[in-house]
Amino acid sequence: MELPKKKVYIETTIPSIITARPSMDITKTYRQGITKFFWENERHKYDLCISEFVLEECSKGDPNAANRRMDLLSGIPFYPRNNEIEALAEEYFEYLNISRKAKTDCFHLAVCVVYKINYLLSWNMTHLGRPAYSKIAVLNGIRNLWLPELVTPDLLLEIEKEEAENELR
């Protein structure tokens, strides 16, 4: 019996990195390479999803770049905003005390919690990284809420590899 695919929420940094011009910066080059590898070779193993917030962010900026991002996301199911997501995002925003410019990160997280998405895939760990994630885990535990894993593409590939090895044992 085949297990259902795990759900992966594609946060805005993923299509942005995939569609960006090649970088000369070694860290950015690595991120572009591993993200493109995931997209081209591994994404089919998951049920991908996005949200209205991803679409809003990806449509901003340079029109050519925005078109490339939107084309990449074409056909991926998306979740619209609703009152539950709005309220939870506001709660995270207050609880984490993050900057207003990063508030959308709280909406990405809220979508994943409300819809019980396994992974929030992102390169943006500035506001939802380890210290914030620890606080989120506490709050979600107290409130008995779903807790998605916040992962970068390379970490998701490593998790997948470990799970495959464990299945062979």
Please indicate, yes or no, if residue 27 is contained in any of the structural domains: yes
Contacts of 37 (CB under 8 A, 6+ apart): 153, 157
Average pLDDT over residues 87-110: 95
Strands 119-121 and 7-10: parallel
Tokens representing 40? 């081209």
The proportion of the chain whose per-residue pLDDT surpasses 70, expressed as a percent, equals 99
SS3 labels along 99-154: CHHHHHHHHHHHHHHHCCCCEEECCCCCCCCHHHHHHHHHHHHHHCCCCCEEECHH
The answer on pLDDT for 164 being more than 90 is: no
Domain extent, residue 145, equals 7-168
The mean pLDDT of 84-112, rounded to a whole number, is: 96
Which pLDDT does position 1 carry in this prediction? 66
pLDDT at 95 over 80: yes
Round the average pLDDT of the chain to a whole number and report it: 95
pLDDT digits (tens, 9 = 90+) for 42-85: 999 999 999 999 999 999 999 999 999 999 999 999 999 999 99
Strand order in the sheet with 7-10: 78-79, 47-51, 7-10, 119-121, 149-151
If one counts the domains in the chain, the total is 1
pLDDT (tens digit per residue) in 110-142 = 999 999 999 999 999 888 888 899 999 999 999
Query: CATH code at 101?
Result: 3.40.50.1010
pLDDT at 74: 97
pLDDT > 90? residue 20: yes
With a cut of 70, say whether residue 6 has pLDDT above it.
Answer: yes
